[in-house]
Amino acid sequence: MCDIHAKKEFVPTIRVVKGMRLQFYNDFLYYETLSAEHQKNKAVLCERLAEQEQTRASLLARLETLRSSVDVADDEAAMAVRRERDEAWKGHQGKLLAKKADIFEVALARDHDVAATSGPCARTR
């Protein structure tokens, strides 16, 4: 008995198999090329990172040399000096005439505001 509606098993022809093999091979070549490009990009980025690390180390060494050659206070020292000055001012302010002390205090505060927003000690406030 012959059933014309029966499912036929898929039997690939040689053309289909060759086409599938060709597609897989093309996919393989594509991903192999992509992988090679990624490896090349990774090598370039690693080289750039090494250069940046070397530049950073060089700049840090220069900064330390400059710090040791110039008498520049770091932020903590500047803050300590500012605290001492503020305490001395409070003691001194009590001995002055109130009107002159207030005028000086306004001028000093204005100066601090300017220094706090523009200069090397801007982060100390």
Per-residue pLDDT, 103: 77
Per-residue pLDDT, 14: 67
Q: Looking at the structure, tell me whether residues 124 and 81 fall in a common domain.
A: yes
Per-residue pLDDT, 9: 65
Q: Looking at the structure, tell me whether residues 60 and 88 fall in a common domain.
A: no
Q: Looking at the structure, tell me whether residues 18 and 63 fall in a common domain.
A: yes
Q: Looking at the structure, tell me whether residues 77 and 119 fall in a common domain.
A: yes
Question: Which has the closest alpha carbon to 90: 111, 104, 110, 73?
Answer: 104
Does residue 6 lie in a domain region?
Answer: no
pLDDT digits (tens, 9 = 90+) for 32-73: 899 999 999 999 999 999 999 999 999 999 988 887 777 666
Per-residue pLDDT, 71: 66
- Helices 98-117 & 75-93 angle (0-180, nearest 10): 170
Q: Looking at the structure, tell me whether residues 82 and 124 fall in a common domain.
A: yes
Per-residue pLDDT, 4: 53
CB neighbours of residue 105 within 10 Å: 13
Task: Give the mean pLDDT of the chain.
Answer: 77
Q: Which is more confidently placed, 7 or 80?
A: 80
Q: What distance in Å separates the CA atoms of residue 16 and residue 10, rounded to the nearest whole number?
A: 11
Domain extent for 46: 12-72
**Does residue 112 have a pLDDT over 50?**
yes
Handedness of CA 37, 43, 46, 51 (dihedral sign): negative
Per-residue pLDDT, 125: 45
**Does residue 124 have a pLDDT over 60?**
no
The count of C-alpha atoms lying within 13 angstroms of the C-alpha of 34, restricted to the half-sphere facing its C-beta, is 6
Instruction: Give the CA radius of gyration of the chain.
Output: 38
- For the full predicted model, state whether its pTM sits above 0.75: no
Q: What distance in Å separates the CA atoms of residue 50 and residue 78, rounded to the nearest whole number?
A: 35
Does residue 42 lie in a domain region?
Answer: yes
